[in-house]
Amino acid sequence: MTDLLNLDNTFGKLWEKLNGWVDAIILKLPNFILAVIIMVMFYFIAKGIRKLLRRFLLVRISQKSIQDMISKIVFVCIILLGFFIALGVLNLNKVLTSVLAGAGVVGLAVGLALQGTLSNTLGGVILSFMPNIRINDFIETNETSGFVSEISLRNIVLKQTDNNYVVIPNSKFIENRFTNYSLSDRSRITVGCGVGYESNLQQVEDIVTKIISENFKQKGSEKVEFYFTEFGDSSINFVTRFYVDMISSKQEFEAKHKAIKLIKSEFNKEGINIPFPIRTLDFGKNNLRIDYNKEDQ
């Protein structure tokens, strides 16, 4: 009998507890609905402000990576603001304080565990605000070259000339040097060649300087340079240097292609020889003798 009374008492307390929870849920239901409405409102507000920033304010910033970075930061900040207001509506201020305090400790532990990831994130922020690298710039780094396709918080993506994509972690990219061919509109290229030892060297210099100057316009203080460099095995070698419009490696190849064809064509007209290596076999006093038996004929 006593056991039945204790069981009834237990079920009674449990029922009271459940009733209390139901009452609390019913009383908090308007606050919960309001909190959900606030979160939805702030989501659309964040999207609208991000859209306005990209359309009107960020157009003054030439670097697309900075535009994307600022718009993402503003979007996240507005969402967090809505989240905090929603917690206030639910009367969870104390919970929020505890969460923030715990987040500080957890953040420290996570930061130590994810140093590489945080390094990439910091590198992404630095790259986004660097004036020396922009979206669509042609760069070369660590024997890899291509157009900058994307700069994110984790990596930088290069589109190579063969239409393949290379993904480089931001921390690795920042640690190494890179060449940006798109920062200057013009660059100087070098074309080398060699002429026979019988050639008139002054004539060679005059022809090359003239043909390059006529076909590659030099601006301002730019000029065509010509230098003989060495006595080679079968030729006297030279280089000519001149400026061309170049913001990618393709333009360099095109300029060298054109210059080589022009030089070869002009040398053919003037009878100037471009020699190739020749090997002479000298047997000296050794005589070449072939022995055979007449019976084998």
Is residue 23 domain-shared with residue 106, that is, in the same domain? yes
The answer to whether residues 82 and 57 touch, using CB atoms and an 8 Å cutoff, is: no
93-102, 130-139, 232-241 — most confident range: 232-241
Is residue 24 domain-shared with residue 108, that is, in the same domain? yes
CA distances from 146 to 141, 152, 162, 164, 208 (A): 9, 17, 9, 9, 32
Burial code (b: 16+ CB inside 10 Å, e: under 16) for 149-169 equals: eebbbebbebbeeeeeebebb
The answer to whether residues 201 and 230 touch, using CB atoms and an 8 Å cutoff, is: no
State how beta strands 186-195 and 236-245 pair.
antiparallel
What is residue 168's predicted lDDT score, i.e. its pLDDT? 85
The answer to whether residues 188 and 243 touch, using CB atoms and an 8 Å cutoff, is: yes
The answer to whether residues 158 and 142 touch, using CB atoms and an 8 Å cutoff, is: no
The crossing angle, in degrees rounded to 10, of helices 64-89 and 93-113 is 140
Question: Which residue range forms the structural domain that includes residue 262?
Answer: 186-270
The answer to whether residues 147 and 137 touch, using CB atoms and an 8 Å cutoff, is: yes
288 occurs within a structural domain: no
Longest dimension (CA), the chain: 136
What is residue 114's predicted lDDT score, i.e. its pLDDT? 45
Radius of gyration of the chain (CA): 38
Confidence of residue 112 (pLDDT cuts 50, 70, 90): very low
Q: What are the phi and psi torsion angles at 61 (to 5°)? A: -95, 120
Stated length of the chain = 297
245 occurs within a structural domain: yes
End-to-end CA distance of the chain: 134
Is residue 66 domain-shared with residue 101, that is, in the same domain? yes
Average pLDDT of span 271-290: 68
Is residue 18 domain-shared with residue 109, that is, in the same domain? yes
Is residue 265 domain-shared with residue 200, that is, in the same domain? yes
The structure's pTM equals 0.54
What confidence tens digit (pLDDT) does each residue in 55-86 have? 776 566 656 666 676 777 788 888 888 887 88
Higher pLDDT, 90 or 214: 214
* CATH code, domain with 141: 2.30.30.60
Confidence of residue 119 (pLDDT cuts 50, 70, 90): low
Last residue of a domain, one of 113, 144, 163: 113
Angstrom distance (rounded) from CA 25 to CA 69: 41
Q: Rounded to 10 degrees, what is the CA torsion of 251, 253, 254, 259?
A: 120
Q: Report how many domains make up the chain.
A: 3
Is residue 25 domain-shared with residue 104, that is, in the same domain? yes
105 occurs within a structural domain: yes
Per DSSP, 104 falls in state: H
291 occurs within a structural domain: no
* CATH code, domain with 231: 3.30.70.100
With 50 as the cut, is the pLDDT of residue 174 above it?
A: yes
